[in-house]
Amino acid sequence: MPNVLITGANKGIGLAFAQSFAVDGWKVHACCRQPDKAKELKAIEGDVVLYKLDVSDGLRVAGLAREMIDDPIDILINNAGYFGPRLEFGEIDYDDWTYTFQINTMGPLRMVENFVEHLASSDRKLVVNVSSKMGSLNANETGGQYVYRSSKAALNAVTKSLSIDLKDKGITVISVHPGHVQTDMGGEEAPVTIGKSVSGLRKLIAKVTEEDTGQFFDFDGSTIPW
């Protein structure tokens, strides 16, 4: 049975990924900060195992990788993310910027560093970094949002380097934009439903091959310029 490890699986896009893979019979390793409170995650029927994980906690990430030493990971979805305070030029909170980087940029790399052998020993060998079009330098036409934009642009740089460094191990690494989605982060006025985003991303993930490594994809399968 194929399996997937998802971070930030308690709500929003991460929860929908967990539900979608479980329905299709995948084993789901579902990570979140507070499993005790993850009611919707616990309610999923199927082969779903919950783990307590804060991606900014290096010791815990390493500990989980050791706990799961015998589990090959077909797909790692680095979904956990934080927008940070919506502060503009002249108002930047530099400590919060650092914290946002720990979650959005260092978290995914830390996961891959710790789970690289789990990925290499699997059949699918795929890392999906949930980035954002707000991290695209080309797509930035409105300015502002320094903290979130830079954390996702840096995540895209991480994706690119990983795609080169892990090629020999046969591991494919991509960045994806889920759309502007109706979640706590995206807001209820966002144009894309969680269902539409995740079904688009599932179709994309199903057809990604080693040839696609190092690319940045929209949830409709098109590529996004860096």
Ligand X SMILES: NC(=O)c1ccc[n+]([C@@H]2O[C@H](COP(=O)([O-])OP(=O)(O)OC[C@H]3O[C@@H](n4cnc5c(N)ncnc54)[C@H](OP(=O)(O)O)[C@@H]3O)[C@@H](O)[C@H]2O)c1
- Contacts with ligand X by CB under 6 A lie at 7-8, 10-14, 32-34, 54-56, 79-82, 103, 130, 132, 177-178, 180-181, 183-186, 190
Tokens of 27: 């084993």
How many other C-beta atoms lie within 10 A of the C-beta of residue 90? 5
Cβ distance to ligand X smaller for residue 13 or 44:
13
Minimum Å gap between C-beta 177 and ligand X is 6
* Three-state SS annotation for 179-211: CCECCCCCCCCCCECHHHHHHHHHHHHHHCCHH
| Residue 60 β-bridge partners | none
Minimum Å gap between C-beta 98 and ligand X is 13
Minimum Å gap between C-beta 123 and ligand X is 25
Cβ distance to ligand X smaller for residue 70 or 184:
184
Cβ distance to ligand X smaller for residue 49 or 120:
49
Give residues with Cβ within 8 angstroms of 52, minimum separation 6: 31, 32, 33, 34, 35, 60
Q: Which entry of 27, 82, 125, 148 is annotated as an active-site residue? A: 148
Alpha-carbon gap, residue 35 to 188, rounded angstroms: 25
Instruction: For residue 82, indicate whether it is catalytic.
Output: no
Minimum Å gap between C-beta 10 and ligand X is 5
Cβ distance to ligand X smaller for residue 160 or 167:
160
Tokens of 182: 């109706």
Q: Which entry of 27, 125, 133, 152 is annotated as an active-site residue? A: 152
Instruction: For residue 148, indicate whether it is catalytic.
Output: yes
Alpha-carbon gap, residue 105 to 97, rounded angstroms: 11
Query: What residues act catalytically?
Result: 148, 152
